[in-house]
Chain A
Amino acid sequence: MSNIAAAAPSASRGSSYALQQLARAFNANATSWIGLVTFLVVVALALLAPVISPYDPLNQDILARLQGPSMSHWFGTDSYGRDILSRLLWGARLSLVISTVSILAAMVIGGIIGILAGYIGGRFDMVVMQVMDVLLSFPSLIMGLMVVAMLGANMGNLMIAIALTAIAPFARIARAPTILVKERDYIEACRALGYSDLRIMTVHILPNIVAEILVMGSLWLATAIRIEASLSFIGLGVRPPTATWGGMIREGFENILDSASLSIFPSLAILLVVFSLNMLGDGLRDAIDPKLRGGE
């Protein structure tokens, strides 16, 4: 049997073949790396905000209000004389925490709903997906408005609002491949071997669809940041004086004639993060399609 062993290509060591394929396909695309690196830089800056932030973001200095960029304030100051750069860094923390937590929650909840609906099928599937369709029909901003209006504007509720918006798309993105995978012979083999439905869903179906869900996750992270910023912009975000990007843009909006920096820099920050996440997400999506689909 030596020739069989010789004919088989090199075995995967340790980490799964899926990751290797992913890395290789990912590498083919320069923009995906740019996106990844940029995003990681932003995350790093946000994490290090307490350390690298030049000023306390809440520290007011009325005499220095509405200044443009200068040596002492690299990005200028806002209408209360607070350093914009510091507020940007701390705002990044907030945005990232809110979006990450809400999207993670939506991935888990939406994913579970989608897999269950796809696997069980029939009436259950129909009813669940119609509920999802109802959720989907709400524009994210309206959903956010409703939740915050009913429950109040704080970080937790913002996360709930954003998660609610994202659950339905994740349910969809988990359901479609579940339905495909469910029909494959190897799932039928699992049933023939007497495996429970739970085992089939978690051990056999989930690993085969997780790639799609993760890609969606990275793209939705960008959306979540945008939603959070929009809600803050209209005053339904985390209350001032906490630094939020959306809130800063609003302030800038109100003081646009006196200082452009206040609007420009937070906008650029959002643009940068959303753009990098989109590039990252697109790169991931190209990487997984169709190579990891079905494993061939």
Chain B
Amino acid sequence: MSTEGRGQGAAPASLDTPILSVENLVTEFRTGGGWYPAVRDVSFTVQHNETLAIVGESGCGKSVTALSIMGLVPPGNGRISGGHIRFAERDLVALDEEEMRKIRGDRISMIFQEPMTSLNPVLTVGFQVAEALCYHRDMDRREASAAALDLLEQVKIPSARQRFADYPHQFSGGMRQRVMIAMALACRPELLLADEPTTALDVTIQAQVLSLLAELKATYGMAMIFITHNLGVVASIADRVAAMYAGEIVEIAPVNQLFARPAHPYTELLLRSIPRVDRDTGNLSVIAGQVPALGAMPTGCRFAPRCPLREAVCTLRDPPLVALADAPDHHVRCWLRAPPVGGGHD
């Protein structure tokens, strides 16, 4: 199938420029009469062909970050109130809806957790996959359907030709997720956002879908931001990992480093609180307490109330994200583990 050349493994203009650069993003939501930041001072980059995993528990802001990148923050009670999202030499925060729509589904795509509600139940899967092509590539229906069929085969839907005209409810959860992936990849996006795409799937199906994503990513030369709460999944697919807590990135590092030497107390405790399949887990670590509510964030380090290493300085000011002394690509937000050089502040 003929495709646009963009992103087909062709070397980008400069390998050093990241494909996406999020700088100091602040996204707020309105609850109980005030605006509170669900995501605060979030900065990270994604390189071409890289998989960045954003990991955290519910309420940490990982989904909000993805929605912010896509410009899908619900306008009634949510807004991006600060920061920049640089993509293809433009600042996505500054774009209006019309321009964002051209980018969505075409250059940046997203897949979601619940494939049943993300697919329109009254339209055939073939139609929904072809639709993206019609809209963005201006193809006529026949061309788009042929391309869509090809995509369904690429995501390994068995008997794709016969199933082209089937409806979502006739597919299992794993199959629907594949259809979603086909839709997302229809226009060969440069960046794929995957928001917990395998959380609702059985573990064997999850392994299949993760394999598929890795394969497609390599074939298409795509960058991917993979959002999940499952550290095992992160270890399987990520090149780099950003751990989020209460709306901030608390640690970001290449995947091997994060698992081998987690620097932030939260990440460290989290890793030790997961029972393992491959060996006997000794004692599970417990993180006392719970995530603070959106409107009741503590002053200083947001994790301090639950941190076993807490000291006085932690409750005074929020620590900045700082590189570790011996690992320049490993950043941590902790006064104790990664004190800023010169003892300075923001």
Q: Which residues from chain A sit less than 8 Å from chain B, CB to CB?
A: 3-4, 7
Residue B341 interfacial (CB < 8 Å): no
Residue B288 interfacial (CB < 8 Å): yes
Residue B2 interfacial (CB < 8 Å): no
Chain A residue nearest to B291 (CB atoms) is A7
Q: Which residues from chain B sit less than 8 Å from chain A, CB to CB?
A: 288-290, 292-293, 296, 305-306
Please tell me if the beta carbons of A3 and B296 are within 8 angstroms of each other in the complex. Answer: no
Please tell me if the beta carbons of A7 and B288 are within 8 angstroms of each other in the complex. Answer: no
A and B contact pairs by CB, cutoff 8 A, 12 listed: A3-B288, A3-B289, A3-B290, A3-B305, A3-B306, A4-B289, A4-B290, A7-B289, A7-B290, A7-B292, A7-B293, A7-B296
Q: Which residues of B contact A7 (CB under 8 A)?
A: 289-290, 292-293, 296
Q: Which residues of A contact B293 (CB under 8 A)?
A: 7
Q: Which residues of B contact A3 (CB under 8 A)?
A: 288-290, 305-306
Q: Which residues of A contact B296 (CB under 8 A)?
A: 7
CA distance A221 to B237 in the complex (A): 62
CA distance A4 to B292 in the complex (A): 10
CA distance A3 to B310 in the complex (A): 15
Chain A residue nearest to B305 (CB atoms) is A3
Min CB gap B246→A, angstroms: 13
Min CB gap A17→B, angstroms: 15
CA distance A4 to B290 in the complex (A): 8
Min CB gap B295→A, angstroms: 10
CA distance A3 to B296 in the complex (A): 12
Q: Which residues of B contact A4 (CB under 8 A)?
A: 289-290
Chain B residue nearest to A3 (CB atoms) is B289
CA distance A7 to B288 in the complex (A): 13
Min CB gap A211→B, angstroms: 23
Min CB gap B268→A, angstroms: 20
CA distance A36 to B293 in the complex (A): 36
CA distance A260 to B109 in the complex (A): 69
CA distance A68 to B296 in the complex (A): 66
CA distance A3 to B291 in the complex (A): 10
Chain B residue nearest to A7 (CB atoms) is B290
CA distance A7 to B306 in the complex (A): 12
Q: Which of B288, B289, B293 has the most CB of A within 10 A?
A: B289
Q: Which residues of A contact B305 (CB under 8 A)?
A: 3
Min CB gap B314→A, angstroms: 15
Min CB gap A296→B, angstroms: 15
Min CB gap B64→A, angstroms: 20
Min CB gap B275→A, angstroms: 23
CA distance A273 to B292 in the complex (A): 49
Min CB gap A28→B, angstroms: 12
CA distance A4 to B306 in the complex (A): 11
CA distance A4 to B296 in the complex (A): 13
CA distance A3 to B307 in the complex (A): 13
Additional pairs, 9, CB under 8 Å, beyond known A3-B288, A3-B290, A7-B292: A3-B289, A3-B305, A3-B306, A4-B289, A4-B290, A7-B289, A7-B290, A7-B293, A7-B296
CA distance A3 to B289 in the complex (A): 6
Min CB gap A7→B, angstroms: 6
Q: Which residues of A contact B306 (CB under 8 A)?
A: 3
Min CB gap B77→A, angstroms: 14
CA distance A4 to B289 in the complex (A): 6
Closest 4 CB pairs of A and B: A3-B289, A7-B290, A3-B305, A7-B293
CA distance A226 to B6 in the complex (A): 70
Chain A residue nearest to B306 (CB atoms) is A3
Chain A residue nearest to B289 (CB atoms) is A3
Min CB gap A24→B, angstroms: 11
Q: Which residues of A contact B290 (CB under 8 A)?
A: 3-4, 7
CA distance A3 to B288 in the complex (A): 9
Min CB gap A255→B, angstroms: 56
Min CB gap B210→A, angstroms: 31
Min CB gap A23→B, angstroms: 16
CA distance A289 to B289 in the complex (A): 32
Min CB gap A9→B, angstroms: 8
CA distance A234 to B224 in the complex (A): 74
